[in-house]
Amino acid sequence: MVASSRTIQKKDVRRASVMREKGRPEFSVILAFNVKVDPEAEKEAKSLGVRIFTAEIIYHLFDAFTAYIDGVRREKKKEVGQEAVFPCILTVLPQYIFNKKDPIVLGVLVDEGILKVGTPLCVPEKDLRIGTVASVEHNRKPVDSATTGMEVCIKIVGEPNVMAGRHFEAKNKLVSRLTRNSIDCLKEHFRDELSKADWRTVITIKKLLDIP
């Protein structure tokens, strides 16, 4: 925030640009409440990639900055979306195994966490990768995700040599294949989308997969 008794100068812009050097370009901003912006400072801001928000009413300034940050976060989530693997633990419903080999199609109960399309799955006790969830259906309708307690039908692709009933059985739990990087991605960009129970599931899976 810049004091209302000043005019935004080039030196203010250069100071704000330091955040780009620190790897946080989204915070290379100046909030100018009821102040003027020197034309040379505007040129410097364009050159250095600094955003200047101006307003004569304080809450207008706050709203503009909040909208900007929300937009930055949405874009960042899109960029890192493939790195983020949400935690889930699934029970196979043996009466609903429709196709045993790639694509594996079967019914599951979500015991814990959030099952999303695109989630890589594994069987921890067998150290077995069984593929990636290509689709999820609930009551015969496609959905993007399923949460604790839901029974859904999923299609798993990507591992042509894995067969349900041979390499894993209904008694084996299926879990999302988390990694250290995917957990860090959840913490940084998707923390608000996980409940406390979901984070407990992350801890459970970390232990199952021996993730440091």
pLDDT digits (tens, 9 = 90+) for 175-191: 999 999 999 999 988 99
DSSP string for the chain: -B-TTSEE-HHHHHHHHHHHHTT-GGG-EEEEES-EE-HHHHHHHHHHT-EEEEESSHHHHHHHHHHHHHHHHHHHHHHHTTT----EEEEEEEEEEEE-BSSEEEEEEEEEEEEETT-EEEEGGGTEEEEEEEEEEETTEEESEEETT-EEEEEEES-TT-BBTTTB-TTSPEEE---HHHHHHHHHHSGGGS-HHHHHHHHHHHHHTT--
Q: How far apart are CA 205 and CA 177, in angstroms?
A: 8
| pLDDT for residue 67 is more than 60 | yes
Mean predicted confidence (pLDDT) in 61-86: 82
Q: How many CB atoms lie within 10 A of CB 126?
A: 12
Q: What is the pTM of this model?
A: 0.72
Identify the residue with better confidence: 74 or 162.
162
What is residue 5's predicted lDDT score, i.e. its pLDDT?
47
CA atoms within 13 A on the CB side of 55: 13
Q: Where in the chain is the domain with CATH 2.40.30.10?
A: 88-208
pLDDT band at 89 (very low <50, low <70, confident <90, very high): very high
pLDDT in tens, 98-153: 999 999 999 999 999 999 999 999 999 999 999 999 999 999 999 999 999 999 99
Mean predicted confidence (pLDDT) in 33-44: 88
- Mean residue pLDDT across the chain: 91
Mean predicted confidence (pLDDT) in 13-36: 87
pLDDT band at 3 (very low <50, low <70, confident <90, very high): very low
What is residue 25's predicted lDDT score, i.e. its pLDDT?
83
What are the structure tokens assigned to 80, written together?
Answer: 């890192």
Q: Where in the chain is the domain with CATH 3.40.50.10050?
A: 7-78
What is residue 80's predicted lDDT score, i.e. its pLDDT?
67
pLDDT band at 4 (very low <50, low <70, confident <90, very high): very low
- Backbone φ and ψ for 178, nearest 5 degrees, come out as -75, 155
Amino acid 3 reads A
Q: How far apart are CA 45 and CA 2, in angstroms?
A: 15
What are the structure tokens assigned to 19, written together?
Answer: 């955040």
May I ask the CATH class of domain 88-208?
mainly beta
- What architecture does CATH give domain 7-78? 3-Layer(aba) Sandwich (3.40)
Amino acid 126 reads K
What are the structure tokens assigned to 34, written together?
Answer: 């009821």
pLDDT band at 81 (very low <50, low <70, confident <90, very high): low
What are the structure tokens assigned to 171, written together?
Answer: 């008694």
* 93 close to 151: Cβ distance less than 8 angstroms: yes
Q: How far is CA 99 from CA 106, 123, 161, 180, in A?
A: 7, 18, 14, 32
